[in-house]
Amino acid sequence: MSFNREDSAWKGEADMDEKMRVQKAEEKALERLDYILEYYSAPDFVEIVGRIGGDTATYRVYNNGDIYER
């Protein structure tokens, strides 16, 4: 297996894009949640589990900015 610097750079950019996508989704979910317990990143949405009051809530934040409670 050979190491290709271009592949490595592209993966780094993809990782940064993924981190930014998750960060934006967390910011959007924190408008409704007190704090975040965990998240799951899928290709078309980020699912965020958090606490609001004494309850646990799960939201899906889609790439287009829509947010839905599960």
- pLDDT at residue 12, as a whole number: 67
Query: Which residue from 23, 55, 63 is spatially nearest to 39, judged by alpha carbons?
Result: 23
Percent of the chain that is helix, strand, coil (3-state, to 5): 35, 35, 25
DSSP class of 45: E
- For residue 15, which phi and psi values (nearest 5 degrees)? -65, -40
pLDDT in tens, 37-48: 999 999 999 999
Domain residue ranges of the chain, discontinuous segments joined by +: 5-69
- pLDDT at residue 5, as a whole number: 47
